[in-house]
């Protein structure tokens, strides 16, 4: 049985279409700002689908309230599917006095949930903070299906070496070449990006990343590829955490921009729902 919170509403229709068995949930906000939740049905096992984009903290608290209601109604096993996990980039102490914020969220979800499923988390190592079973799902298959035909015999690139695994996963599904950008210091103050060991001239390129926020890196990478003679440049990311105006800026710099629907945006054209219903 699936229970869908406010952060999963945009996936509800497709979840139902693909055969998901949904529990009804009433969710409202009291005039003072407190959330109210009421679930219909008392499944012994339930999967709560709730992405935690903005307002992040409301979506997080809702996950707890829904779980409390399900437990109250007799649920013995609860799984949280959190396609986009808020605070996942706050994954280490970079300055003394900071929290590892994603740890706080993981530990909190562990109070009620036995299992946690996320998509393409920024730092998979942080899954160890969740006390139960935690799984990092991949949108690579969906990305490959979406861009495969358009890409032809093109190349899949990661914006940096750390993200290479993501590009590799997409490329391998399509039997394509893959590589990554690296930074080259050309003067004490200037850094240039360049793709490593591939010739992009005359070929289509797909750049794959986990999160796009300002889109600055993607725009620089796309411009560089065009300068190097690339044919078409596509950009795919799992989570579209777009800053104001970023969709337009990236959209202008590339031939197509598409992200998954872990966060609902105007360019969330790649669906992770098939992976969710498989669980």
Spatial CA neighbour of 258 closest among 209, 203, 201, 193: 209
Known catalytic residue at 183:
yes
Residue 114 · residue 95 · CB < 8 Å: no
Shortest distance, CB of residue 29 to its own copies, whole angstroms? 10
Q: How far is the CB of 100 from its own copies (least distance, A)?
A: 6
Query: Shortest distance, CB of residue 75 to its own copies, whole angstroms?
Result: 11
First to last CA, the chain: 11
Name the residues that contact its own copies, by CB under 8 A: 26, 31-41, 54-58, 60-61, 64-69, 72-73, 86-87, 89-90, 93, 95-101, 103-105, 107-108, 110-112, 213, 241, 243-244
- The total of other beta-carbon atoms located within 10 Å of residue 89's CB is 18
Nearer of residues 17 and 92 to its own copies, judged by Cβ: 92
Closest distance to its own copies from the beta carbon of 83 (Å): 16
Residue matched to tokens 């990305």: 143
Alpha-carbon torsion 263, 219, 160, 257, what sign? positive
Quote the least distance from Cβ 242 to its own copies, whole Å: 9
* Smallest distance from its own copies to CB 18, Å: 25
Beta-sheet strand order (sheet of 268-270) = 190-195, 177-187, 155-158, 205-212, 233-240, 256-260, 268-270
Q: Which is nearer to its own copies, 124 or 131 (CB)?
A: 131
64 vs 193, which CB is nearer to its own copies? 64
Nearer to its own copies, 86 or 225 (CB): 86
Given the residues 28, 107, 183, 252, the one annotated as active site: 183
In whole angstroms, what is the distance from residue 269 CA to residue 279 CA?
Answer: 21
Using alpha carbons, select from 35, 29, 40 the residue that is nearest to residue 64.
35
Paired strand residues for 268: 259
Residue (of 64, 54, 128) closest to 91 by Cα position? 128
- By beta-carbon proximity to its own copies, the closer residue of 39 and 233 is 39
Q: Cα dist. 159→1, 190, 225 in Å? A: 39, 18, 12
Query: Which tokens in the block code for residue 54?
Result: 């903005």
Token pair in block for residue 203? 């070929």
Residue 112 or 119 with smaller CB distance to its own copies: 112
By annotation, the residues acting in catalysis are 183
């Amino acid at each position: 049985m699936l229970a869908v919170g406010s952060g999963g509403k945009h996936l509800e229709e497709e979840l139902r279409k693909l055969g998901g068995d949904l529990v009804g949930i009433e969710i409202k906000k009291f005039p003072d700002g407190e959330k109210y939740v009421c679930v219909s049905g008392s499944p012994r096992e339930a999967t709560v689908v709730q992405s935690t984009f903005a307002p992040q903290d409301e979506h997080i608290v809702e996950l707890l309230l829904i779980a409390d209601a399900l437990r109250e109604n007799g649920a013995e096993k609860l799984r949280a599917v959190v396609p986009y996990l808020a605070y996942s980039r706050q994954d280490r102490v970079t300055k003394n006095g900071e929290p590892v914020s994603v740890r706080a969220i993981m530990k909190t979800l562990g109070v009620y949930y036995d299992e946690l499923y996320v998509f393409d988390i920024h730092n998979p190592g942080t899954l160890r903070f969740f006390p139960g079973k935690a799984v990092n799902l991949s949108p690579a298959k969906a990305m490959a299906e979406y861009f495969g035909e358009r890409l032809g015999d093109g190349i899949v690139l990661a914006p940096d070496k750390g993200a290479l695994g993501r590009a590799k996963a997409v490329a391998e599904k399509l039997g394509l070449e893959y590589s990554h950008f690296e930074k080259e210091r050309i003067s004490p103050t200037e850094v240039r990006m360049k793709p490593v060991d591939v010739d992009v001239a005359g070929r289509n390129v797909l750049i794959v990343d986990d999160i796009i926020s300002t889109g600055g890196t993607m725009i620089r990478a796309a411009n560089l590829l065009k300068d190097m003679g690339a044919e078409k440049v596509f950009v795919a990311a799992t989570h579209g955490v777009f800053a104001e105006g970023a969709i337009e800026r990236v959209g202008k710099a590339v031939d197509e921009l598409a992200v998954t629907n872990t966060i609902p945006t105007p360019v969330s054209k790649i669906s992770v729902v098939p992976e969710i219903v498989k669980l």
